[in-house]
Amino acid sequence: MRFEELGMYPARVEKAVRESPAVVSLHLRSPLPREPSPGQFVMVWLPGKEEVPMSVSGWDGARLRISVAKMGETTSELQRVKKGEYLGVKGPLGRGFELGRGPYLLVGGGTGMAPLIFACRRLRERGERVKVLVGARTSSELLFVTEARRTGAEVEVTTEDGSSGEGGMVTDLLERELPKRPWKVLACGPEEMLVRVVEECVKRGRKVQVSLERYMRCGLGVCGSCVLDPVGWRVCTEGPVFEGRLLLRTDFGKFVRDPTGRRLPLPPGRRG
Amino acid sequence: MSRLTVKLGKLRLSNPTILASGLLSTGSLLCRALREGAGGVVTKSLTLERREGYSTPVVVGVKDGLVNAVGLTNPGGEEYLREELPLAKKGGGPVIVSVAGGKGEEFAEVASKAEEAGADAVELNLSCPHVRGHGLEIGRDPKLVREVVRRTKEVLSIPLFVKLGLSDRIVVSALSAEREGADGVVAINTLPAMVVDVYARRAILSNVTGGLSGPAIRPVALRCVYELYQNLSVPVIGCGGVEDWESAAEFILAGARAVQVGSAVATRGLRVFSEICKGLSNYLKREGIQNVDNLVGRLEG
């Protein structure tokens, strides 16, 4: 890779779309050095504020889509940017999903649907069989359900409060679905959910790839802020997508790092 | 690969490539760098107190380099030495602990804790260009260099290296460090720099200014190494844009006994160390040179 490819590329906002009360998608036109693939991320800079890692939720050959949930000051300001404004983008970065022959079962919790909707579209374009299990706390937090259906994928919905689809956890649906076919599983969502997804898949002998989220300072593989111990895997470089089985030997589900690099227990109830 | 073994004072390395300070930073990643072939690794710079550093963006790519202002982020010397150093040591090679500070006693305190914790050597960061009073201001003042090196040397029995940045007085500062007992001099650190985004009409780094590293600074670094080699008797360690065996060999010919590799980790990955070693080894064989030591400073004419 050349150093210039790690530079900040101007990204003009062409469209801002509210996907749910909590999430806004931004369609960005940017001369990226490479085409993004599903599961990869970009570092998005809001000038005057911070730079934050964002999953790519779509790519139409010219425009990049990111889907922003309010996590803090920068993301909440990002939700308010208007058509015509400029952001900065570094990337695409990291290792995305390895996509082969299906059938594929996609399991998304909350905003974890962002990378999965991109994977869903790509798989459907290739004619693969895809089923998507979408979960959220409540119906207003469900993401990309209609869009997933439009790709021709089969979609099942679950909410914790039962306000839409089946009441319960998305992992309950997964348990029921796994034995039915030789699914290959892709998952993204709160880390506690991902741990259950991986455990279930390993138990059933199903291949599973998960996309992880960590505090990321540089996104380029140099600062070490997103490292999983004891193996020393950088979520920004060796990830953010990992083979689930390999993750079980790491900090996955157990530890995260704070901005100074200190290792701390994973906060309970952490959502993706 | 025995052609590649080098000694830096009492410190023996299996090859002359060393991971530069500030990159990779966790113990587990330093361990990986050693296992992937680095002859040694330097930790991020540790300070007495924990430092969060600057907000993002902290690093951005430019043509032939990176510009960064991370802000000496670290969880504090004690915490790092307890939690991360043991993981780094599992890599089986020398772990050099980098120390930063504002005053002589701060350097000495963290350095002696590093020795207690099992560090193989200490590197004093007297060259950070983007944290006021924590680097370059010290390194370009030979009097301050003398003070910091003397105080640290008093409490240390493991080798002590001093990392200097570009300044008019780099040779004078290096001579001061040598006189106070430094076992080697590392040159250079990043050059003060900035990057502007024309659409945002803003400096990209949150700290506005930062330090430029990578191949863009290599000719500058080479000149520094060459002059230091001419004037010092302790080993010089070259740093600045090493990314392949050719650039490593350039530094060695200019007088470096070892080289530090930093930014190239971002573009070439951790395999950069083994790639450099393989290339160097082949080069030495082709040139009929027994050991890389015999190449140090051997410029013709």
Residues A9 and A124 reside in one and the same domain: no
On whether residue A81 sits in a domain, the answer given is: yes
CA distances from residue B276 to A4, A223, B281 in whole angstroms, order as listed: 22, 22, 8
Pick among A218, A228, A238, A252 to test the B interface (most B CBs inside 10 A): A218
Average pLDDT across chain A, whole number:
95
**CA–CA gap between residue B72 and residue B165 (Å, rounded):** 16
Residue A270 covered by a domain: no
CATH of the domain at A53: 2.40.30.10
Angle between helices B272-287 and B245-254 in degrees, nearest 10? 60
Closest partner CB to B26 (pick from A1, A86, A224): A224
**Which chain A residues in 216-245 lie under 8 Å from chain B, judged by CB atoms?**
217-218, 220-225, 227-232, 234, 237
Catalytic residue among B128, B224, B239, B277: B128
Identify whether residues A74 and A53 lie together within a single domain. Answer: yes
Chain A to chain B Cβ contacts (< 8 Å) = 144
**Domain co-membership, A52 together with A82:** yes
Question: Can you give the pLDDT at residue B131?
Answer: 66
Interface test with chain A among B35, B49, B56, by most A beta carbons within 10 Å: B56
**Range of the structural domain that residue A68 is part of:** 3-93
First to last CA, chain A: 30
Q: pLDDT for B65-74, tens place per residue?
A: 999 999 888 9
Which residue ranges form the domains of chain B, and what is each CATH number? 2-51+70-185+215-295 (3.20.20.70)
The domain boundary, picked from A27, A61, A93, lies at A93
A235 and A197 within one domain: yes
Report if residue A123 sits inside a domain.
yes
Same domain, A223 and A247: yes
Question: What's the CATH number where A211 sits?
Answer: 3.40.50.80
How close, in Å, is residue A215 to chain B by CA atoms?
Answer: 11
Number of structural domains, chain A?
Answer: 2
Q: What is the pLDDT of residues A180-230, one digit of tens each?
A: 999 999 999 999 999 999 999 999 999 999 999 999 999 999 999 999 999
**Predicted confidence (pLDDT) at residue B134 exceeds the cutoff of 70:** no
A20 beta partners: A23
pLDDT tens for each residue of B246-259: 999 999 999 999 99
Say whether B267 and A227 touch across the interface (CB within 8 A): no
**Residues A109 and A89 occupy one common structural domain:** no
Same domain, A114 and A77: no
Please indicate, yes or no, if residue A272 is contained in any of the structural domains: no
In this prediction the ipTM stands at 0.92
* Dihedral in degrees, nearest 10, Cα atoms A12, A17, A18, A20: -110
Q: Does residue A247 share a domain with residue A150? A: yes
A203/A251 same-domain check: yes
Where do the H-state alpha helices sit in chain A? 73-78, 113-125, 145-150, 170-177, 191-204, 244-247
Q: Assess whether pLDDT exceeds 80 at residue A107.
A: yes
Contact B57 A45 (CB under 8 A): yes
Nearest-CA distance from B275 to chain A in Å?
Answer: 15
Domain assignment of residue A206, yes or no:
yes
B218 neighbourhood in chain A, CB within 8 Å: none
Q: Is residue A205 part of a domain?
A: yes
A184 and A210 both lie in a single domain: yes
For residue A71, give both structure tokens: 């996590």
Q: Tell which phi-psi region holds residue A165, choosing left (phi > 0), alpha (psi between -120 and 50) or beta.
A: left
B141 vs B173: CA distance, rounded Å = 7
Tokens of B10: 């009492």
- Residues of chain B in contact with residue A48, where contact means CB-CB under 8 angstroms, are 200, 202
In a domain, A226, yes or no: yes
